[in-house]
Structure 1
Amino acid sequence: MFTHALQAVVCLSEEKIAAQVDNLKKAFGWSDADVRIAISKHPLLLTRSSDILRRRSEFLISEVGLEPAYIAHRPAMICYSLEGRLKPRYYVVKFLKENGLLDRDRSYYYAFQMTEKVFLEKFICPHSEAAPHLAEDYAAACRGELTTRFIFS
C-alpha cells in the first residue's frame, strides 16, 4: 500500500491533492473522516478524474443504493470499470435476487471484488438451468449491451 500511496502523491501537488479531496467529498457526500478512510485504503483514488468519481458515485449510490460510508470503507470498487465490471455484475446479482435464485442479503461488493473466474463460478454457473440465458446476458452486459432481462422496473 505504501508504494501505491507514493505513486499517487508523487505526481500531485498539495493543491491538486486538496482539490481531489474536495472532489471525493462532493461526489460521494463524504466527511473528512470518510475521505481519510478511503484514501488510506486505496490511495490511487487521488488519481481518478472528477468525471470518473461522479459517474461511479451516481451508479453506486443512486442505482445500487449503497451508503456513502459503506463505499468509503470499500473504495477499491470506485476504481473498477463501470461498464466492464460494476454494471454487468450488478445486473446479474439483481436479476438473481429478484428471481429468488440468490439470498437477498448477498452484498453487491462481494460480487464486485472477486475475479472474473470466481464470479462466473459463484453467480453464473450454478444457475445455468434456472436461468439458461444468464451467461449470454452477462457477456452482453460486459460488452455494453443491456438485455431485456436486465431491465428492472
Structure 2
Amino acid sequence: MASTLHYYLHLFGSLENLLRALKYGSLLSSDIEGVVKPNVAFLQECGLATCDIAKLCISWRYLLQTNPDRLREMVACAEGLGVPRGSPMFRHALRAVAFLSEEKLTTKLEHLKKMFRLSDAEVGIVISKAPAVLLKTKESLQRRSEFLMSEVGLEPTYIAYRPAMLMYSLEGRIRPRYYVVKFLKENGLLKCDPSYYTVFKESDMTFKKKFIHPHKEAAPHLEKDYDAACKGEVPTDFRFT
C-alpha cells in the first residue's frame, strides 16, 4: 500500500490532486503492475506528459483502470479523427472518444456535418482543432448552429476554422456579446466590423475594455444590460441614452 501511494503521489504531483482522483475512483484496488503502469507508459509514449495524464485521470477516473488493449483502440480512434499523438489536442480527443462506440461517433460526425453544412474535410478540421465538440449534445450544437449561422450570419467555413466558438456558452457568452456588438453597430459606435471570433474568444475583462468601456458616456446602461444578459436576463433591447 505504501509503495502504491508513493507511485500515485508522484504521478499526480500533489496530495490534493491524488485525493481528487481517489474521491470517486478505485485506484488503490487496481492492478497497478498489470494495468495502471502499462497504461501510464503507453500514454507517455503517445506524447502525454505526467501532468497531462494526471489531468485526464482527475476528469476521467477510470482512465488508468481501462483495459490496455481498449486504451490502444481509443488512441487509434483519436488518431483516425485527425488528432495525432503529440498534438496539443490529443488528450482532449482521447477523452472525447472514450465513451463513444463507433456507431455513436459516426452519428455525431454526421450531425455535425449536416447542422453546420460542412464538407468531410471541414468536419476533420473542426475535430482536429476542438475534439471536445464531440461531447456536445445534438441539441446543444443545433442551437449554436441556428444562432451562429442564421442570426449572426457566419459562413460554415468560417466556423470550421474557428471551432472553439462551438465550445463557448451560447447563453452566457456568445449571445450577450453579439447583442452588444449589434447594438454598437446600429447606433454608429463602431468604426469597423469586428471579427466575431475575436468578440467571442476574448476574456470578459478584455471584451468589456474593448467594446463597452469606451462607450460609457454614449451608452451608460450598456454594461449593466450586458451583465444581465450573461445571467440570462436578456433585455428587450439595449438602452441607448
Task: Please tell me the TM-score bracket, short chain as reference.
Answer: over 0.9
How big is the shift at 1:107?
1.4
How big is the shift at 1:71?
0.5
Q: Distance in 1 between matches of 2:191 and 2:168?
A: 24
Provide the residue aligned with 1:137 in structure 2: 225
Which of 47-56 and 104-113 deviates more?
104-113
Provide the residue aligned with 1:84 in structure 2: 172
1:112 to 170, 193, 200: 200
1:51 to 109, 128, 139: 139
SS of 2:212's partner is helix
2:103 pairs with 1:9: no
Answer yes or no: is the 8 Å Cα contact 2:172–2:230 preserved in 1.
Answer: yes
How big is the shift at 1:104?
3.3
The unaligned stretches of length 5 or more in structure 1 are none
SS of 2:219's partner is coil
How big is the shift at 1:101?
1.1
What code does the residue aligned with 1:55 have? R
TM-score w.r.t. structure 2 length?
Answer: 0.60
The unaligned stretches of length 5 or more in structure 2 are 1-88
Higher relative contact order (CA 8 A, sep 6+): 1
What code does the residue aligned with 1:80 have? Y
Bigger Rg, structure 1 or 2: 2
How big is the shift at 1:26?
1.4
Provide the residue aligned with 1:96 in structure 2: 184
TM-score w.r.t. structure 1 length?
Answer: 0.94
Q: Distance in 2 between matches of 1:111 and 1:95?
A: 14
Corresponding residue pairs, total = 151
Alignment RMSD = 1.3
Segments ≥4 residues shifted beyond 4 Å: none
Provide the residue aligned with 2:32 in structure 1: none
